[in-house]
Amino acid sequence: MADVETPATRLRGLREGGCTPQQAWELFDSLPAVRVDEITTGRWSGDELDTGHPWAGVLVESGWYGKQFDSPDNVQPLLFAGPDAAVFAVDPRRVPLGLAGRIPLSGMRAARALLPILRPLLRTRAPRARLRNLEYRGKISAAMVYDHLPIIDIFRLVDDRTLLGVMDLRGLSEPYFFILHRESV
């Protein structure tokens, strides 16, 4: 009896074997929409889906941990963790996105080592994004709208604990795909 291919097994195959943006789009477009009220359950840990994007490895190596969805209007779009494993919310305006993909990954690892020192400068306690149900690529699904940057992250449901997201950043020529895993509540 053949194994049934699920969205989770498809995602795992793309993560393990590498994928192109087209393959990532095909999976994203095939996934069901997810509503805001289904994902406002707290902390989500993050990972990336490497499609060869110039930012590949940048977020993970810099200490990106994930996102926090407490309510539609109480969202932390960027959680980071340094070598001390302390997770904290970062104000996206203080992250030099223009340098992403231009600094070698070794430089990102060095920046991560400095997170405990930089934490007071980067940290925020105020929400820095909102969740809304938006139409994107033909489906109405949960999306995270940054408060101060031209970024919208759109989510699709892989399974009850996993989301596939894509970053829509004004001026970004290639899609950046990432994965969120629901932490236990």
Q: 64: domain CATH number?
A: 2.40.128.580
* Residue 104 within a domain: yes
Q: How many domains does the chain have?
A: 1
What CA dihedral angle connects 171, 145, 44 and 17, to 10 degrees? -30
Mean pLDDT, residues 79-90 taken together: 89
Q: What is the pTM of this model?
A: 0.89
Domain extent at residue 127 = 7-182
pLDDT tens column, 133-165? 999 999 999 999 999 999 999 999 999 999 999
Mean pLDDT, residues 50-76 taken together: 90
* Residue 57 within a domain: yes
pLDDT tens column, 164-177? 999 998 988 888 99
* Residue 1 within a domain: no
Selection from 141, 152, 62 nearest residue 107 by Cα: 62
Kindly give the pairing relationship between strand 139-146 and strand 162-169.
unpaired
* Residue 2 within a domain: no
| Confidence class for position 106, pLDDT limits 50, 70, 90 | low
Identify the three-state secondary structure at position 26.
helix
